[in-house]
Amino acid sequence: MSTELFNENPEFKHFFDLQNNLREKVIKEDQLPTSIKYVAGVDVAYDDASDKMIGAIVVLDSITFKVVEEVSHEMEITFPYVPGLFSFREIPPLIEAFKKLTIKPDLIVCDAQGIAHPKGMGMATHLGIELNIPTIGCAKKRLVGNYDKSILGLKRGDSQELIYNDVLVGKALRTQDSTNPMYVSIGHKISLNTAIYWILKLTPDYRLPETTRQADHLVNLLLKK
């Protein structure tokens, strides 16, 4: 995806203004529980045969990575695809799914951007603010920002700062040897260093965090039903 700043569609000015207001609420330092017992992954998938989408949340034990709860919510798509406003499209089913949880996660990892977004308001950040829970953005693709690819090491744990408009917005992080990096950014109520720690903890065997893998698996199963 292009790393250029999105042109703001004037038809959706209210939502871009809302992003500006929400950005003032972002907490970029650690405000996590002393003990993190449960971590969650979220995903949203679309049914090509209808105008519906499914939001899924999978909660894992933070030590064993065993799935302890999974919930989902299906609903009609209520917001169009607008560059820069992706979170407004995908958050509604996730919020409804969250209401069904009996085990509340201490941390949520999103397969999406956090503050590494043109308005500093990727889905991970928006969701964290809405739910008042620490969140991390861990995306497969870079949306904004630049880093020096030539000096990013090939070993697991190697990283380079992601800079956008002269501001540090995240890191390109190698989660497995010689794989493409993941793009990690603060979502809400967490520092970048702690976000990196958790992404490495959640990627013992694969490039993607276990939270993302499990959430993706769940929505794909639900789509087949």
Q: Hey, which residues does 171 pair with through a beta bridge?
A: 161, 184
Residue 52, Ramachandran bin (φ over 0: left; ψ between -120 and 50: alpha; else beta): beta
Tell me the per-residue pLDDT of 15-62, one tens digit each, with 9 for 90 and over.
999 999 999 999 999 999 999 999 999 999 998 878 899 999 999 999
Burial of 19 (0-12, 13-18, 19+ CB in 10 A): buried
Average pLDDT over residues 106-122: 97
Instruction: Say what the pTM is.
Output: 0.94
Percentage, residues of the chain above pLDDT 90: 88
Percentage, residues of the chain above pLDDT 70: 97
Enumerate domains of the chain plus CATH numbers: 25-135+188-224 (3.30.2170.10)
C-alpha 171/C-alpha 193 separation (Å) is 10
